[in-house]
């Protein structure tokens, strides 16, 4: 704040000294200054700079618009590529689940042909009547943990157990495939 006061005081002293040495009054000094500013014209260099600045702004706007369009297009392409990848993955999963279900069905059919019967442990874990499957082996009462336990404690060989469990796990999110996989498990377990 002090500096500002000193600057104002210095301007007043300089103005007073100018008027003292030139012998002009305050009105004459004001008229001289106003007349000079009216006669000053903007140089052509300033006009050219203003025009160039306007053109630069327009070019920057166009570049930003082009960049935004490019980003939007790239993002759309990325989304489309991701959707295609998801579709391909779903098709692959569906095909794998179908193959696993078919393999489990074939294994169950082979187990039935060889005369494999359920063990007493499997009967104790949910079989309600002779020849009736536990509720865990139905769509309505499906429980992956119980199904896994029934299959693992059965008298099936390790390969059949793995095929049945993996087939059911792969099909558990698709009701149609799950129904087929559970039927294969019931057949293999002798229900």
Task: Give tens-digit pLDDT for 142-191.
Answer: 889 999 999 998 888 888 889 889 989 888 888 888 888 888 888 888 87
Range of the domain at 163: 98-189
Position 141 in a domain: yes
Query: Average pLDDT in the 63-74 region?
Result: 80
CA dihedral 132, 139, 92, 152 (to 10 degrees): -40
CA dihedral 110, 171, 157, 159 (to 10 degrees): 90
Task: Give tens-digit pLDDT for 1-52.
Answer: 888 999 999 998 888 887 777 887 878 877 777 765 545 555 677 778 778 8
C-alpha to C-alpha distances, 81 to 48, 94, 153, nearest whole angstrom: 49, 20, 45
Q: Give residue 123's pLDDT band: very low, low, confident or very high (50, 70, 90).
A: very low
Position 66 in a domain: no
State the distance between the two ends of the chain, measured CA to CA, in whole angstroms: 99
Query: Average pLDDT in the 60-75 region?
Result: 80
CA dihedral 39, 45, 50, 55 (to 10 degrees): 150
Closest to 151 (Cα-Cα) out of 166, 136, 161: 161
Position 166 in a domain: yes
Position 70 in a domain: no
pLDDT over threshold 50, residue 54 = yes
Position 150 in a domain: yes
pLDDT for position 36: 55
pLDDT over threshold 50, residue 121 = no
Query: Average pLDDT in the 90-117 region?
Result: 65
Q: Give residue 129's pLDDT band: very low, low, confident or very high (50, 70, 90).
A: very low
pLDDT over threshold 60, residue 69 = yes
Position 45 in a domain: no
Position 46 in a domain: no
Position 180 in a domain: yes
> Which long-range contacts does 149-153 make (Cβ < 8 Å, 24+ apart)?
149/125, 150/122, 150/125, 150/126, 150/185, 150/189, 151/185, 151/189, 153/119, 153/121, 153/122, 153/125
pLDDT for position 89: 65
The structural domain count of the chain equals 1
**pTM, to two decimals:** 0.35
The more confidently predicted of residues 95 and 57 is: 57
Collapsing DSSP states into helix, strand and coil, what is residue 133?
coil
């Amino acid at each position: 704040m002090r500096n500002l006061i000193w600057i104002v005081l210095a301007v007043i002293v300089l103005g007073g000294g100018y008027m003292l040495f030139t012998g002009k009054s305050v009105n004459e000094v004001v008229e001289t200054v106003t007349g000079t500013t009216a006669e000053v014209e903007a140089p052509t260099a300033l006009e050219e700079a203003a025009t160039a600045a306007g053109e630069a702004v327009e070019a920057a706007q166009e570049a930003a618009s082009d960049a935004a369009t490019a980003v939007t297009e790239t993002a759309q392409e990325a989304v489309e590529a991701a959707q295609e990848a998801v579709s391909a993955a779903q098709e692959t999963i569906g095909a794998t689940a179908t193959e696993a279900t078919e393999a489990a069905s074939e294994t169950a059919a082979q187990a039935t042909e060889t005369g494999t019967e359920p063990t007493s442990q499997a009967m104790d874990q949910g079989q309600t009547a002779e020849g009736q499957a536990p509720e865990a082996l139905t769509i309505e009462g499906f429980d992956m943990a119980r199904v896994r336990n029934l299959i693992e404690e059965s008298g099936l060989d390790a390969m059949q157990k793995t095929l049945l469990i993996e087939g059911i796990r792969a099909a558990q999110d698709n009701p149609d495939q799950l129904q087929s996989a559970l039927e294969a498990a019931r057949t293999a377990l002798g229900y």
